[in-house]
Amino acid sequence: MGQTIIEKIIAHNIGAATVKPGDIVTVNVDRVMLDDIMMPFIVQKFEEMGFTKLWDPDKVVLINDHLVPASQVDDTRHYRIGEEFVAKYGMKNYHRSDGICHQLMTEAGYVKPGDVVFGTDSHTTTYGCVGAFSTGIGYTEMAGILGTGQLWVKVPETIKVNINGKLPKNVYSKDIILTIIGDLTAAGATYQALEFCGDTVENMTVASRMTMANMAIEGGAKCALFTPDQKTADYCEIELSDFQKSLVGDADATYIRELNYKAEDFVPVMACPSQVDKIRPVTELVGTKVDQVFIGSCTNGRLEDLMAAAAILKDKKVAPFVKLIVTPASRKVYRQALANGTIGILLDAGAIVTHPGCGLCCGRTGGILTDGEVVIATNNRNFLGRMGTSKVQIYLASPASAAACAIAGEIVTL
C-alpha cells in the first residue's frame, strides 16, 4: 500500500516502515517556533512542569512579530519575558524585529523538507510550502516540547488537491486557496492534511505555495504539503536528499477525498465579511465602497506580492479617501523591494509602508478600523473584530485585486 506525504514524513521521523491515519505516535521535533504574544504563557507552563533546561536550545526559535512595535503598555512585558528566557536557557535563534514568524522560519533556513515543526501560531501550516510537516499548537504543548523534544500526534487522513493547467491573467495563488476553502468550508478539512499536486502547483513559486499552505488552516487542515522540487532546494539552499525527493504522494496511496481543478476555471475572488469560506467572485462585489486597503501579512507580504501590487499601482494614485497600508513580511523582503524600486512605486502611489510585522492583520498596530469601515486585505482571516471593531467589514483578496481597489476607492475587477 502506498503512502501520502504526511505518512512518509511521520514514518521517517519515528523510524517506522509505515504509519496509517488514526495512529497515535510520538514524533521527534526538528524545530519549534515561539512567538512573542505567547511567551508569558509558555514560560509559566514550562516552569510549572519543572523543566530546568531546553531539550535543544539550537532547535528553538523565538520571534517578536505580533507585538512589534508595542501598541499597548503590557506588550513590553512580553519582550522582557522573552529576553530573560533566551538568556537563561542559552538560545541563539532570537529575532527581535526581523519580520513575521512564518516568513522567517523558511527564509532564515530554520525549516527543511521533511522536517517536523511546531509553532505557537495557527498559521504554522505555512512551512508545508517546502514539504515540512508543520502545525500550530498551544502553549502547554509547546512547554512540553521545550523540555522533552517530543509530542504525540495522530496521523492525519489526507485530502488530495489536483490543480492542472495554466492560470488566467490576474488570477493568483490567493484566489486558488480562497476558492478551495470555499469548496471545503471552514471545517471541511478538520485534522486532515491537504496535499497539493498537479502541473499548476509545480509551476508555482515557493512564495505562492506559501500563501496556499498558510491558509490551509482556514479549512481546518492540520497541515498542508507540497512535494519538494528544485525550486524548494534553491529556496532552502540545499541539495535534496533521497528521502526529501521521495516526498510525493504514491499513486496507490489512500486519500479520504480528492479535489480536481482546472486552472483555467479560476477567477479573482474575495472572502466576504465575516467568514473566510464566504467566497464570491470579484465581479459580484463591484461597487462596494472601500475605506482602507492592507497589503501584507504572512499570507501575502512577500516580494512577489508587493511587486504584483506595484504593477497595478505604477503611475497611479490611491483614491484620496483611501488609506493604503503596505507591510513587508520581513526586513529581507523590505530591502529587496527597496532595491528593485517596488517600494518607490508604492510610495509614489500614496501607500503607507510600515515596519515588518503582524500589525494590522492581528488587530494590533498600523491602521485599526472603526464601525462601518470597509477594508480589502491580503491577510488570512476576516473574523469579526479582527482588524478593529466588530462592525468593520473585512474582505480578503489577492495583492493585485487589493491594489486595484485602492486606486478606485471601491471594489473593482482587474
Q: Domain boundary at 230, 263, 296, which? A: 263
In a domain, 160, yes or no: yes
Q: Domain boundary at 235, 263, 291, which? A: 263
The reply to whether 255 and 302 lie within a common domain is no
The reply to whether 169 and 318 lie within a common domain is no
When divided into structural domains, the chain yields a total of: 2
In a domain, 413, yes or no: no
CA dist 215 and 304 (Å) reads 17
CA dist 212 and 259 (Å) reads 15
Q: Where are the alpha helices (DSSP H) in 215-351?
A: 230-236, 242-245, 297-300, 303-313, 331-339, 342-349
Residues 207 and 107 sit within 8 Å (Cβ to Cβ): no
The reply to whether 14 and 113 lie within a common domain is yes
The reply to whether 282 and 229 lie within a common domain is no
Beta-bridged to residue 280, according to DSSP, are 270
Residues 150 and 26 sit within 8 Å (Cβ to Cβ): yes
The reply to whether 230 and 288 lie within a common domain is no
CATH of the domain at 74: 3.30.499.10
- pLDDT of the chain, 414 residues: tens digit per residue: 899 999 999 999 999 999 999 999 999 999 999 999 999 999 999 999 999 999 999 999 999 999 999 888 899 999 999 999 999 999 999 999 999 999 999 999 999 999 999 999 999 999 999 999 999 999 999 999 999 999 999 999 999 999 999 999 999 999 999 999 999 999 999 999 999 999 999 999 999 999 999 999 999 999 999 999 999 999 999 999 999 999 999 999 999 999 999 999 999 999 999 999 999 999 999 999 999 999 999 999 999 999 999 999 999 999 999 999 999 999 999 999 999 999 999 999 999 999 999 988 888 778 899 999 999 999 999 999 999 999 999 999 999 999 999 999 999 999
Q: What is the CA radius of gyration of the chain?
A: 21
Percentages helix, strand, coil for the chain, rounded to the nearest 5?
Answer: 40, 20, 40
C-alpha angle 129-306-404 in degrees, rounded to nearest 5? 115
In a domain, 76, yes or no: yes
The reply to whether 60 and 79 lie within a common domain is yes
Amino acid at 89: Y
- Which residue range(s) make up the domain with 357? 270-408
DSSP character string of 122-183 = GGGGGGGGGT-EEEE--HHHHHHHHHHSEEEEEPPEEEEEEEESPPPTT--HHHHHHHHHHH
Beta-bridged to residue 154, according to DSSP, are 24
The reply to whether 254 and 336 lie within a common domain is no
The reply to whether 346 and 312 lie within a common domain is yes
